[in-house]
Chain A
Amino acid sequence: GNSVTQMEGPVTLSEEAFLTINCTYTATGYPSLFWYVQYPGEGLQLLLKATKADDKGSNKGFEATYRKETTSFHLEKGSVQVSDSAVYFCALTGTASKLTFGTGTRLQVTL
């Protein structure tokens, strides 16, 4: 079945540091890939998505590229802010409508 593996957290960075959160997946067919973010006390929010190989999703300075050859969808941001502190989930969906999530990576950004 489908599965998503994320790097374990927490990830602690200083403000303006470069961020990478690794995500790899196993899926049959051609899944669509997503990053969701969960801020404290709030619901999951879609951060970005990519629906086919080599697509790059981007939003709010975050980027991720759908790499079919390495089955990866790593999240990157060039300069993080304190307000980026949250839990980030990599997810995929295939032929069904349901999402399969990774375990989440907590990001803590300090001044």
Chain B
Amino acid sequence: DTGVSQDPRHKITKRGQNVTFRCDPISEHNRLYWYRQTLGQGPEFLTYFQNEAQLEKSRLLSDRFSAERPKGSFSTLEIQRTEQGDSAMYLCASSLGGGAIGYGYTFGSGTRLTVV
């Protein structure tokens, strides 16, 4: 297993366009997390899945954001009608079992979104 994969690595889009990012977790990990990291800040939690169920969503996740994890495998994060404030690094992480203590979190390298 090569770890957590994210695609694309970089995305430049015009304001108002929709974008979709993909995350492939470590295959045996049942939990998957999305975080957002803006320049000079630490990552902020967006949402997480246990298998295919989305168990928690941050208030940061506006109505323009939607995440899915069909069949409990890969996940997608879609942003509709992008705004310049959406420019950030979007990080995906996965873990096995009760990741409540963060043990076993593996992060991907992230997708850097630039909205122009």
Query: Which A residues fall within an 8 A CB radius of B?
Result: 4, 32, 34, 41-46, 49, 51, 89, 91, 93, 95-104
Contact = CB atoms under 8 A, between A and B. Distances in A.
Contacts of A44: 43, 91, 93, 107
B102 A32 contact: yes
19 contacts: A32-B102, A34-B102, A43-B4, A46-B102, A49-B101, A93-B100, A96-B56, A96-B100, A97-B48, A97-B102, A98-B33, A98-B48, A99-B35, A100-B45, A101-B42, A101-B44, A104-B40, A104-B41, A104-B42
Contacts, number: 63
Contact of A98 (B40, B42, B45, B110): B45
**Which of A41, A46, A51, A97 has the largest count of B CB atoms less than 10 A from its CB?**
A97
B105 interface: yes
A43 B47 CA distance: 18
Contact of B110 (A43, A93, A102): A43
Contacts of A43: 4, 91, 107-110
A103 B33 contact: no
Given A97-B95, A103-B40, 9 more contacts: A4-B42, A32-B102, A44-B107, A49-B102, A96-B56, A97-B98, A98-B33, A103-B41, A104-B40
A95 B48 CA distance: 14
Given A93-B100, A97-B99, A97-B100, A102 B109 contact: no
Given A45-B107, A46-B105, A98-B33, A103 B100 contact: no
